[in-house]
Amino acid sequence: MDHVDQAIALCANHPDAFFAGPRGELIAHAEAELGFPLPASYQRFIEKLGAGSIGAFEVYGLTRHPFSGVVPDAVGITLRDRSGPSRLPPTMVVIGNDGMGGDFVLDVAKGSDPPVEIWIGGSSSPDAPIERISNSFGEWLLESVRQEIRT
Please tell me whether residue 110 adopts helix, strand or coil conformation: helix
**Amino acid in the structure at residue 59:** V
The pLDDT score that the predictor gives to residue 126 is 85
Calpha distance 108→42 (Å, rounded)? 11
pTM: 0.96
Give the pLDDT score at 122. Answer: 87
Identify whether the C-beta of residue 29 lies closer than 8 Å to the C-beta of residue 23.
no
Q: Please state the domain extents for the chain.
A: 2-150
Q: What is the pLDDT of residue 151?
A: 80
The pLDDT of residue 136 is: 98
Residue 133's φ and ψ, nearest 5 degrees, are: -100, -40
Alpha helices in the chain (DSSP H): 2-12, 27-34, 40-48, 74-83, 137-150
Fold of 2-150: SMI1/KNR4-like (3.40.1580)
Name residue 17's amino acid: A
Residue type for 2, please?
D
What are the average pLDDT values for consecutive 10-residue runs of the chain, which has 151 residues?
94 94 98 98 98 97 95 97 92 97 96 97 90 98 96 80
CA gap 12, 144 in Å, rounded = 15
Which pLDDT does position 26 carry in this prediction? Answer: 98
pLDDT at 127: 86
